[in-house]
Amino acid sequence: MIPDYLQALCQEIHFILLSSKDQLPVHTVFFGGGTPSLIPLEGLEQILLTLRKSFRLHEEAEISLEANPGTLSLPYLQGLRSLGINRLSLGMQSAIPGDLRLLERQHDLSDVVQAVSWARQAGFENLNLDLIFGIPYQSLNNWSQTLRMALSLLPEHLSLYALTLEHGTPLEHWVSRGLVLSPDDDLAADMYETASEMLDKAGYTQYEISNWARQDNNKGRLLSCLHNLQYWRSLPYLGIGAGAHGFANETRTANVLSPAMYIKRLREKTMVKSIPFPATPAAIETIPIDQQRAIGEYMMMGLRLVQEGISEADFLERFGKTLEFEFGPVIVKLVKKGLLEWNHERRMLRLTPRGRLLGNQVFSEFV
């Protein structure tokens, strides 16, 4: 299906160009979802060429690609760099074989080490490793071992996620039938705090609940994922492809999940001109975001940025009212509970270290 899918993807990009009536400025591109590294280089070249024709792509744009470590080769990575892809995100997940088997991952630690070595040889200077904690049977000692192994590879960025039991997955089925232990929330909290301490000592800055980055002294900035910052700052982004979500023009969009149905929709409706931007023929859901909903989402996403938090000035500029007017009593309550704190010098509100562990409880107060 890949050739037909690529054709549909390029058609959707072209459709956005027609409906937006202008070449929109773009500073990040993220190839995510599933395993994009299964796409042949010529397919990625086709997509990037279409993007460059359809948008005003910044000459120093951050272009990321997610990859399964077991699907890579040195020639492929060299090809990615020659196409302009400059950030690589590897799904390492764990250094422990038992964890990887439980997660049904096809790679092992040696694949990760090899992939990182090849990525450096290919010229990648911005590398992220994804890790998962809170896996059934995962000990604190094993998690520390995974962290040490990941740090030894010197990535510029680390994303650490607590295991979520996704509905319909084998692991969720095994846990529900009692065949596998349920994840232990208290142990997962200990793992999170252990990671915070280890990464801080290793020179990484936590800038978001699940994300840490090193400082780039040449560029004078933290090597945060610029693409994901767009989400957390509630700024517009376009979702292109099967199952993709977007947010632009005060509208949230969701595309059809099935690749076969995605191809069919783009094939049959390429000439439809009545669909307003940012939706495309692939969209199965378009939700207008009114101000009240926008405020709730802004708080939920912005508070994930543990250093930056919510700026009082930015809130006022966006919504025409102060944080105190909108949420005064709620903020006072959460500050008293030790979950939120004010940085009075910068006039911004952010989670405390304890609040990071209980983020969802904090967010629910604003949504």
Query: Within a domain: residue 58?
Result: yes
Average pLDDT score over residue span 61-72: 94
CATH of the domain at 185: 3.20.20.70
Where does the pLDDT of residue 177 fall: very low under 50, low under 70, confident under 90, or very high at 90 and above? confident
CATH of the domain at 326: 1.10.10
| DSSP secondary structure letters along 9-25 | HHHHHHHHHHHH-S--E
3-state secondary structure of 56: strand
Query: Within a domain: residue 114?
Result: yes
Average pLDDT score over residue span 77-82: 98
Q: Is there a single domain that holds both residue 77 and residue 210?
A: yes
Q: Is there a single domain that holds both residue 318 and residue 181?
A: no
Query: Within a domain: residue 263?
Result: no
Sign of the torsion angle spanned by Cα atoms 337, 340, 341, 342: negative
- 158-167, 223-232, 295-304, 308-317: which range is least confident on average? 158-167
Average pLDDT score over residue span 204-221: 91
Query: Within a domain: residue 2?
Result: no
Residue 47 has pLDDT above 80, yes or no: yes
DSSP 323: H
Query: Within a domain: residue 351?
Result: yes
Crossing angle for the helix pair 312-319 and 323-336, nearest 10 degrees? 140
Query: Within a domain: residue 286?
Result: no
Total of domains in the chain: 2
pLDDT at position 271? 55
Where does the pLDDT of residue 270 fall: very low under 50, low under 70, confident under 90, or very high at 90 and above? low
Query: Within a domain: residue 162?
Result: yes
Distance of CA 229 to the CA centre of its chain: 9
pLDDT at position 22? 84
Average pLDDT score over residue span 44-48: 97
Crossing angle for the helix pair 109-122 and 74-82, nearest 10 degrees? 40
DSSP tally for the chain: helices H, then strands E:
15, 15
Average pLDDT score over residue span 264-293: 86
Q: Letter for the amino acid at 89?
A: S
Angstrom distance (rounded) from CA 181 to CA 179: 7
pLDDT at position 96? 93
Percent of the chain at pLDDT > 90 equals 80
pLDDT at position 272? 58
**Which residue would you say has higher pLDDT here, 299 or 169?**
299
Residue 274 has pLDDT above 90, yes or no: no
Which whole-number Å values give the CA distances from 307 to 75, 207, 362, in the listed order? 39, 6, 16
- 40-49, 179-188, 196-205: which range is least confident on average? 179-188
Residue 121 has pLDDT above 90, yes or no: yes
Residue 124 has pLDDT above 90, yes or no: yes
Q: Is there a single domain that holds both residue 201 and residue 319?
A: no
- 60-64, 217-221, 231-235, 303-307: which range is least confident on average? 217-221
Angstrom distance (rounded) from CA 115 to CA 68: 9
Domain residues for the domain of 180 are 25-231
Q: Is there a single domain that holds both residue 93 and residue 191?
A: yes
> Chain-wide mean pLDDT for the chain?
92
Contact 150, 129 (CB under 8 A): yes
Interacting residues of 6 by C-beta distance below 8 A, sequence separation 6+: 39, 43, 46, 47
